[in-house]
């Protein structure tokens, strides 16, 4: 079974509303760097693609919308892929005053990822922030910075300034 996240919304969502909101988030937060497409194959599905599919780092995020629920499988595109996905999700669900849950966790929580980790480096530093001991913390920060710089080289240049 895939690990999926879900956004629980009080009002019924429409295709037009989701289209508009995803385009707005893409424009305001990500400098229009994602290509967003909508398809209906018996379910409403949105694909968010960063870069070109033939690029080494091209990847996609998809959302499945069911009346008052938004579902997404977690990306497997490294820490930067996770940050992009969770930032999009958090911004989208917060527009509807919704709550988030996950197959891998108990309970629901407010969509605050975009507030806690406004920049990608903040997400990469999460492990270092929980480590005890000055030397160990310094080592984890160095590793996080290295991983961050490594992933940056694969991202489209247009998005670097906004992450």
Q: Where along the chain do its domains lie?
A: 4-119
Q: Residue 132 has what pLDDT? A: 84
Domain 4-119's class?
alpha beta
CA distance 125 to 129: 6
Q: Residue 104 has what pLDDT? A: 86
Give the contacts of 63 (CB within 8 A, at least 6 positions apart): 18, 22, 45, 46, 48, 70, 71, 72, 92
Rg of the Cα atoms in the chain: 16
Q: Residue 151 has what pLDDT? A: 87
Which ranges of the chain have pLDDT less than 50?
Answer: 1
Q: Residue 52 has what pLDDT? A: 65
Give the contacts of 147 (CB within 8 A, at least 6 positions apart): 79, 124
Q: Residue 22 has what pLDDT? A: 93
Closest-CA residue to 79 (of 131, 127, 129, 148): 148
Q: What is the pTM of this model?
A: 0.87
CA distance 147 to 127: 12
């Amino acid at each position: 079974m895939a690990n999926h996240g879900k956004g629980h919304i009080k009002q019924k969502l429409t295709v037009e509303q989701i289209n508009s909101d995803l385009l707005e988030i893409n424009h305001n937060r990500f400098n229009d760097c994602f290509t967003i497409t909508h398809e209906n194959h018996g379910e409403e599905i949105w694909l968010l693609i960063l870069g070109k599919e033939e690029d080494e780092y091209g990847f996609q995020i998809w959302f499945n919308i069911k009346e008052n629920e938004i579902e997404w499988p977690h990306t497997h595109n490294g820490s930067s892929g996770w940050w992009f996905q969770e930032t999009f999700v958090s911004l989208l669900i917060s527009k509807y005053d919704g709550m988030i849950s996950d197959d891998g966790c108990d309970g629901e929580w407010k969509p605050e990822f975009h507030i806690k980790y406004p920049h990608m480096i903040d997400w990469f530093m999460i492990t270092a922030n929980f480590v005890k001991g000055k030397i160990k913390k310094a080592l984890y920060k160095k590793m996080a910075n290295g991983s961050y710089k490594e992933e940056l080289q694969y991202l489209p240049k247009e998005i670097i300034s906004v992450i």
